[in-house]
Amino acid sequence: MTQEAATEAQVPAQRERSGPFGVALLATIGIVTLAWIGGLVWAAIAFFSWLVS
């Protein structure tokens, strides 16, 4: 490995700052995920309530 390749490998990748669009996207994904999990829990409770009755 040459000295040039070694210095290039050690340079950390720079991350972009998340703007309002990124924050809104993450919030939307979080809300949809919570709604999905809530729907699954509701469906499981409804199913087992029907099964027991």
Please write the tens of the pLDDT for every residue from 1-53.
566 555 566 656 666 667 999 999 999 999 999 999 999 999 999 999 999 98
Instruction: Determine the pLDDT at residue 6.
Output: 55
Instruction: Determine the pLDDT at residue 35.
Output: 98
DSSP letter for 2, please: -
The pTM assigned to this predicted structure is 0.59
Instruction: Determine the pLDDT at residue 25.
Output: 95
The span from the CA of 45 to the CA of 17, in Å, is: 42
How far lies 22's CA from each of 29, 42, 47, in Å?
Answer: 11, 30, 37
Structure tokens belonging to residue 38:
């809530």
Instruction: Determine the pLDDT at residue 16.
Output: 64
Instruction: Determine the pLDDT at residue 53.
Output: 86
Name the nearest CA neighbour of 27 among 14, 18, 39. 18
